[in-house]
Amino acid sequence: MTDQITSQGADGSELRGHACIADYLKRLDASPGVYRMLNDKSEVLYVGKARNLRARVSNYARPAGHSGRIARMISETASMMFLTTRTETEALLLEQNLIKQLKPRYNVLLRDDKSFPYILLPKDHAYPQLRKHRGRRAVKGAYFGPFASAGAVNRTLNQLQRVFLLRNCTDSVFNARTRPCLLYQIKRCSAPCVGYISEQDYAGLVADAERFLSGKSTKIQAQLAEEMQAASDAMEFERAAALRDRIRALTHVQQSQGINPRTVTEADVIALHLDKGQACVQVFFIRAGQSWGNRDFYPATGAGAEEPEILEAFLGQFYDSKEPPRQVIISHDIENADLMAQLLSDRAGRRVELLVPRRGEKAELVENAARNAREALAMRMASTAAQGRMLEGLAEAFGLDAPPARIEVYDNSHIQGTDAVGAMIVAGRDGFIKSQYRKFNIRGDGVTAGDDFGMMKEVLNRRFERLLKEDPDREGETWPDLLLIDGGAGQISAVASIMADLGVDDIPVVGVAKGIDRDAGKEEFHRPGSRPFALRHNDPVLYFVQRLRDEAHRFAIGTHRAKRAKAVSASPLDDIPGVGPGRKRALLAHFGSAKAVARAGLADLQAVDGISEALAQVIHDHLNAR
């Protein structure tokens, strides 16, 4: 792989647009590779791949025949960079990596890149816990998914509990039980914690659950029917009734999954709808012949890309960190279908088919996904239009020069100064931007317990000192156009002073005070140097501000509760060097509590699995330090 970086022009003169691109053609060959187009500030405008770099770049050198988007991009181009690769597939992979890293303005960008949840059946316990899993597959076990959302996983887990009676409690709860919990009483668990089922019989339930998640529910139902008949013949009527209830639960599950495809066992169905420069991509997940939910995505379209380019970019970025299924069924043909299929196959370690069906059940699945994409985009565009009107009303109410593109709302949460946290939420034309939310653990330097002013000062200092360091020229999209603070005149005066000290006193700041009797609807708004004012009781802008404030309050309270819960569950064993989660569990299981560990002698500590003589000395010294 060779990196080629050349000057702007052969004679050293400043070349732009078509002339600049044409000059590069003299030094390009027919190798596959990746090219970058840069403006006069060396900012990357676009990253593209090519089977033949010279042929691809020559298209941009033509003075006419381009779409408005491409023409604008060419006019801004002041230099180019090239990376040659050995194969076309390498070029495609490199292109996706660079797009993800550089986020160029004219490329299609997938902004939502969250991991998807799975169902996990661990293999490291005699009575495995059925649970939801996200992230790296560090636990040995069987993974089933992906599911479109946590809700889809929870619904499936609920169904599996009713049918297979597998436990969902943690190992610590399981080990501490002395009698069955409520789930056993309502026939959602077989109570392995108290020995109501043998290890062999529980393993049979686990095997049935795995078969169900692999799409073999019909065989399970037939097997249960045989067992029920045998129990009835043997006059074991209580067991027969329990089996009958499980069959009914399984039948209900099958009926609720009536939308499952008949001929597709493992696929992602991906459909794109484009309207007025905005795109929605709908993904349906089909695994083991079952529909495991759907999810919509709204990629940035690179200032006006067409369907094939958007869909190809989406596929490359969507499967960057996700394992592709055996079939990827899409709604539009893409330019490099063969390369994309090869790339997906390489990532999966097996063959992956890329299909654009024209008829049959697969085409019906695509049409269903396309209809969902169309409806979801229409609702989003309507919501965005309404949000735009709210921002315009907000600008008018608060005397802003223009509707704010980014609003940051701040709030603090604590109990008498303990476990204090600050919270920031962000909203814009697309509503709440949850990926931009931030939490601040109050460090407390110079902050006394319950000092809300001091807490707000620390949060704003940390927030804007970082902004000034990362983007001093305010060219990015992370600078706010409006700050909303939960508080009245005193809070706003303090915030104005903080912002002036930071040198960013040109950002409008508005305080939202509860008003008379602290009733919703009687809020007062405060601005530095101005008299407080209120909005009429039924003003939509007032409701909009209330939603912003309530969301900030919800996020702050949730962050505070999580911090408090972590503090409550903290253990003296957490800070001992060499004692990780496994050894901590072993010590607590052996002695029963951290206090008992602290009272233990060296010989007793060494009796615990995984605790060597040297580590026992470290533990003893740490817990008995004076």
Binned at pLDDT 50, 70 and 90, residue 395 comes out as very high
Query: 19-23, 170-174, 365-369: which has the minimum mean pLDDT?
Result: 170-174
318 or 289, greater pLDDT: 318
Whether residue 454 sits in one domain with residue 550: yes
Say if residue 44's pLDDT is above 90: yes
457 or 239, greater pLDDT: 457
Residue 20 falls inside a structural domain: yes
Model confidence pLDDT, tens digit, residues 136-171: 888 888 888 888 888 888 888 887 888 788 998 888
pLDDT for residue 324? 92
Query: 101-105, 246-250, 469-473, 495-499: which has the minimum mean pLDDT?
Result: 246-250
Residue where a domain terminates, one of 102, 134, 158: 102
Whether residue 561 sits in one domain with residue 442: yes
Model confidence pLDDT, tens digit, residues 117-128: 888 988 888 899
* Cis before 581 (ω within 30): no
Cβ atoms within 10 Å, residue 476:
9
Whether residue 534 sits in one domain with residue 579: no
The two structure tokens encoding residue 417: 């100064």
Separation between Cα atoms, residue 220 and residue 209, nearest integer Å: 9
Say if residue 345's pLDDT is above 80: yes
Question: What is the mean pLDDT of the segment spanning 197-201?
Answer: 90
411 or 572, greater pLDDT: 411
The DSSP secondary structure of 371-416, one letter per residue, reads: HHHHHHHHHHHHHHHHHHHHHHHHHHHHT-SS--SEEEEEEEEEET
pLDDT for residue 519? 54
Whether residue 31 sits in one domain with residue 146: no
Residue 261 falls inside a structural domain: no
Whether residue 506 sits in one domain with residue 437: yes
pLDDT for residue 113? 62
Binned at pLDDT 50, 70 and 90, residue 274 comes out as very high
Whether residue 558 sits in one domain with residue 427: yes
Count up the domains in the chain and report the number: 5
Residue 284 falls inside a structural domain: yes
Say if residue 82's pLDDT is above 90: yes
Alpha-carbon separation of residue 386 from 121, 376, 396, 430 (angstroms): 45, 15, 15, 10
Q: Bridge partners of 120?
A: 131, 143
Say if residue 256's pLDDT is above 50: no
Residue 340 falls inside a structural domain: yes
Q: Give residues with Cβ within 8 angstroms of 543, minimum separation 6.
A: none
Say if residue 36's pLDDT is above 90: yes
Whether residue 558 sits in one domain with residue 463: yes
CATH code of the domain containing 292:
3.30.420.340
Binned at pLDDT 50, 70 and 90, residue 367 comes out as very high
CATH code of the domain containing 8:
3.40.1440.10
Query: 95-109, 150-164, 215-229, 562-576: which has the minimum mean pLDDT?
Result: 562-576
Separation between Cα atoms, residue 231 and residue 224, nearest integer Å: 10
Q: What's the distance, Cα to Cα, between the start and end of the chain in Å?
A: 60
Say if residue 257's pLDDT is above 60: no
The two structure tokens encoding residue 43: 């900012």
Per the CB < 8 A criterion, the answer to whether 483 and 456 are in contact is no
Residue 414 falls inside a structural domain: yes
Determine the length of the chain. Answer: 626
Q: What is the pTM of this model?
A: 0.70
Whether residue 445 sits in one domain with residue 421: yes
Whether residue 441 sits in one domain with residue 553: yes
CATH code of the domain containing 583:
1.10.150.20
Whether residue 210 sits in one domain with residue 168: yes
Whether residue 213 sits in one domain with residue 88: no
Say if residue 231's pLDDT is above 90: no
Question: What is the mean pLDDT of the segment spanning 528-549?
Answer: 86
Residue 397 falls inside a structural domain: no
Percent of the chain with pLDDT over 70: 88
Question: What is the mean pLDDT of the segment spanning 392-420?
Answer: 83
Say if residue 112's pLDDT is above 80: no
Residue 291 falls inside a structural domain: yes
Whether residue 548 sits in one domain with residue 418: yes
Model confidence pLDDT, tens digit, residues 463-505: 998 888 888 888 777 899 999 988 888 888 888 888 888 888 8
pLDDT for residue 564? 65
Separation between Cα atoms, residue 104 and residue 34, nearest integer Å: 14
pLDDT for residue 617? 85
pLDDT for residue 451? 66
Residue 372 falls inside a structural domain: yes
Say if residue 626's pLDDT is above 60: no
Residue whose token pair is 């991009």: 73
pLDDT for residue 514? 77
Question: What is the mean pLDDT of the segment spanning 197-215?
Answer: 85
**Domain with 583 in it:** 572-623
Query: 54-58, 235-239, 280-284: which has the minimum mean pLDDT?
Result: 235-239
pLDDT for residue 571? 65
- Average model confidence (pLDDT) across the chain: 83
